[in-house]
């Protein structure tokens, strides 16, 4: 049975003090949440949020990490640094990393393998652009991103992998895939996991949806059989929107 997993990606929002205060509020409101809940503050706020979340059920995530453990990589953050702060999950291959910062499937794959080698959950983001969707390439794109992103990952490591399907045209735009639309791509993802690994691996894989998830559309998306949670951007920044999403009820 897959446990729903709600993750909040705070992107480049909140100073250290703001992040700590918000984390304290979420800790008090969501400690008994019925689903797995994770928040991913900016790197600069990880230590402060880690302190606030100590002993709470809310997981601490990072928004990215370097593909190497250490070395001359100005401006990068290492998996070792994340581990030290109590980070247990890392978002990899987010569309903003792929499309604004030019991250390739190969680079993302190296990060996924490094995260898994260190026992972190790798949230592998995949999803098509609007042009790709209009050209009928949704299946081809998500299958390629999955195959390349998981290259060299063994089936025994998959319990450390979460897939986030985030159609690029739905991120931060207010446009959401309909529940049926999203579910049909999630089915493609699950079938590809079955083809790459096994039916059991596919049945166990947690697949989040991301793209303008809000309190009023969360339950409808999550009611679909292949949607196991959400990666939330904008709506994760305010308690009045994130708390109801994290407490969504499938009915």
> Is 231 a binder of ligand PEP (CB under 6 A)?
yes
Nearer to ligand PEP, 80 or 130 (CB): 130
Q: Assess contact for 77 and 43: CB atoms under 8 A.
A: yes
Please report, for residues 86, 92, 173, the alpha-carbon distance to residue 113 in angstroms, rounded to integers and kept in the order given: 19, 11, 31
Which of 96, 103, 128, 166 is catalytic? The answer is 166
In which element (H, E) is residue 192 found?
A: helix 179-196
Give 41 or 210: the residue with its C-beta nearer to ligand PEP: 210
Of the pair 26, 171, the CB lying nearest ligand PEP is at: 171
Structure-token pair, residue 27: 């800790």
Binders in 167-196 for ligand PEP, by CB under 6 A: 171-172
The answer to the question of residue 128 lying near ligand PEP (CB under 6 A) is no
Instruction: Look up 51 and say whether it is catalytic.
Output: no
Chosen residue from 97, 233, 246, 247 binding ligand PEP by CB under 6 A: 233
CA dist 225 and 220 (Å) reads 11
Residue 35 is among the residues annotated as catalytic for this protein: no
Q: Which of 20, 38, 213, 245 binds ligand PEP (CB under 6 A)?
A: 213
Residue 212 binds ligand PEP, judged by CB under 6 A: yes
Angle between helix axes 179-196 and 215-222 (nearest 10 degrees) is 50
Question: Is residue 163 a contact residue for ligand PEP (CB under 6 A)?
Answer: no
What would the x/- binding string for ligand PEP be over residues 3 to 42, using CB under 6 A? ------x---------------------------------
Which residue in the block uniquely carries the two structure tokens 């993802």?
A: 189
* 41, 149, 160, 234: which one binds ligand PEP (CB under 6 A): 234
List, in order, residues 6 or more apart from 175 with CB less than 8 Å away: 169, 211, 212
Quick one: which of 77, 148, 165 has its CA closest to 113? 148
Closest approach of Cβ 172 to ligand PEP, in Å? 4
Task: Examine residue 217 and tell whether it contacts ligand PEP (CB under 6 A).
Answer: no
Does 232 contact ligand PEP by CB under 6 A? yes
Q: Which of 35, 94, 118, 186 is catalytic?
A: 94
* By CB under 6 A, residue 211 contacts ligand PEP: yes
- If one counts every other C-beta atom within 10 angstroms of the C-beta of residue 72, the result is 6
Beta strands in the chain (DSSP E): 5-9, 36-40, 59-62, 89-92, 121-126, 161-165, 206-210, 229-232
Comparison of 202 and 206: residue with beta carbon closer to ligand PEP: 206
Contacts of 247 by beta carbon, 8 Å cutoff, 6+ apart? 30, 33, 34, 35
Distance CA 61, CA 176 (A): 24
Catalytic residue positions? Answer: 94, 166
Binding site for ligand PEP (CB under 6 A): 9, 166, 171-172, 210-213, 231-235
């Amino acid at each position: 049975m897959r446990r729903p997993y709600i993750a909040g990606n705070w992107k480049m929002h909140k100073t250290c003090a703001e992040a700590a205060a918000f984390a304290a509020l979420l800790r008090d409101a969501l400690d008994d949440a019925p689903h797995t809940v994770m928040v991913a503050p900016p790197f600069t706020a990880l230590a402060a949020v880690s302190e606030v979340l100590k002993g709470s059920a809310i997981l601490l995530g990072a928004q990215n990490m370097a593909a190497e453990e250490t070395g001359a990589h100005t401006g990068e953050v290492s998996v070792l640094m994340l581990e030290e702060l109590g980070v247990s999950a890392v978002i990899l291959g987010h569309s903003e990393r792929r499309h604004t910062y030019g991250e390739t499937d190969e680079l993302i794959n190296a990060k996924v393998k490094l995260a898994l080698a260190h026992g972190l959950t790798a949230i592998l983001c995949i999803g098509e652009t609007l042009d790709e969707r209009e050209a009928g390439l949704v299946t081809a794109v998500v299958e390629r991103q999955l195959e390349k992103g998981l290259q060299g990952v063994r089936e025994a490591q998959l319990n450390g992998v979460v897939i986030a399907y985030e159609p690029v045209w739905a991120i931060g735009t207010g446009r959401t895939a309909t529940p049926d639309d999203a579910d049909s791509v999630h089915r493609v993802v699950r079938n590809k996991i079955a083809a790459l690994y096994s039916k059991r691996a596919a049945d166990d894989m947690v697949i989040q949806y991301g793209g303008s998830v809000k309190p009023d559309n969360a339950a409808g998306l999550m009611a679909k059989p292949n949607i196991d949670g959400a990666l939330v951007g904008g709506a994760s920044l305010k308690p009045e929107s994130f708390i109801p999403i994290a407490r969504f009820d499938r009915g």
